[in-house]
Amino acid sequence: MTLELWQVVVLTVWAGLAMLDALSFNIGMNGIIQTGIFTGLIVGNPELGLVVGGTLQSYALGIGTYGGASIPNYTTAAMFVTAIAGGLDNVESFITMYGIPIATLTIMFDVAARFANTAFQHAADRFVITGDVKKIELMNWLGTIPWSLSRALPVFFALAFGPELVTQINKAVPAQLLAGFRVAGKILPAVGFTILLRYLPTVKNAAYLILGFVLVSYMAVPVLGVSLIGGAAAILIFKKLTESAQGGDIDE
């Protein structure tokens, strides 16, 4: 499925601006699901974008930018897959066949932006010596250029040249491999959840892990319901910990 020029332009601009939102206001423009939906609207199939974004988001639930590390760029992947899939028929295999490589390859653009901004840092250091306050602020603002280009450029190139490449690859891929990619799409959320479990104090909270699993697997409680039960547990834990701390103060 090829895109019109205006669609490529709109998506490229969105990608650049969304990155700036992710760095500052964080209302979610750069979110994986939101990007999928927006791309879906632009190509005329928002539900496709919702499913693509939701699936890719499930791979990335455990991956935040903790401490400024570069992580696979599933946002760009959501945009690309939604733009080229053309419909919900082949979307499962597309998500892993094209989404994962795009997400991984575009990490380097993030690294490049973080590196490019050191130049503005050095320039700002010179204005610190001269006390030129306006120029210091300008150097900080100039950082928006590498940041937005780091998302806009890969989106532009992927959307401009990707669809043709995808058509060629699709012709060559055997059916068994396609089946494998569809399976990958279904089981990959395990990776994201594992990263989360490694980040959280899981061993200490094993009881809650089992509880969450049982509520859904045996009792078919929706995830929203489990979150509410978890919220109730969190309130009880918070109360218990804060009360015992106050009690300790009295003892002293």
Interface of this chain with another protein, residues 190 to 219, rule: CB under 8 A:
190-191, 193-202, 204-206, 208-218
The letter for the amino acid at 16 is G
Pick from 12, 39, 53, 73: which binds another protein (CB under 8 A)?
53
Pick from 74, 94, 120, 156: which binds another protein (CB under 8 A)?
120
CB of 153 to another protein, least distance (A): 18
Closest CA to 156 of 6, 3, 8: 8
Counting residues that bind another protein (by CB under 8 A) gives: 109
Pick from 13, 105, 153, 221: which binds another protein (CB under 8 A)?
221
Q: Would you count residue 105 as binding another protein (CB under 8 A)?
A: no
Structure token pair of residue 176:
């068994």
Structure token pair of residue 141:
């603002």
Q: Would you count residue 96 as binding another protein (CB under 8 A)?
A: yes
Pick from 4, 28, 161, 164: which binds another protein (CB under 8 A)?
28
Residue 40 neighbours by CB distance under 10 Å: 23
CB of 145 to another protein, least distance (A): 10
Q: Would you count residue 10 as binding another protein (CB under 8 A)?
A: no
CB of 61 to another protein, least distance (A): 5
Structure token pair of residue 148:
């937005």
CB of 221 to another protein, least distance (A): 8
Q: Would you count residue 6 as binding another protein (CB under 8 A)?
A: no
Q: Would you count residue 112 as binding another protein (CB under 8 A)?
A: no
- Binding to another protein (CB under 8 A) within 152-181 occurs at 176-177, 179-181
Pick from 8, 11, 15, 33: which binds another protein (CB under 8 A)?
33
Q: Do residues 2 and 160 make contact, with C-beta atoms less than 8 angstroms apart?
A: no
Per-position DSSP letters for the chain, written without gaps between them: ----HHHHHHHHHHHHHHHHHHHTT-SSTT-HHHHHHHHHHHHT-HHHHHHHHHHHHHHSTT---GGG-----HHHHHHHHHHHH-SSSSHHHHIIIIIHHHHHHTHHHHHHHHHHHHHHHHHHHHHHHHT-HHHHHHHHHHTHHHHHHHHHHHHHHHHHHHHHHHHHHHHH--HHHHHHHHHHHHHTHHHHHHHHHHHTTTTTTHHHHHHHHHHHHTT---HHHHHHHHHHHHHHHHHHHHHHHHHHHHH-
CB of 50 to another protein, least distance (A): 5
CB of 4 to another protein, least distance (A): 25
- Binding to another protein (CB under 8 A) within 59-88 occurs at 59, 61-64, 66-68, 72
Pick from 23, 105, 153, 160: which binds another protein (CB under 8 A)?
23
Q: Based on CB atoms, which residue is closest to another protein, 8 or 43? A: 43
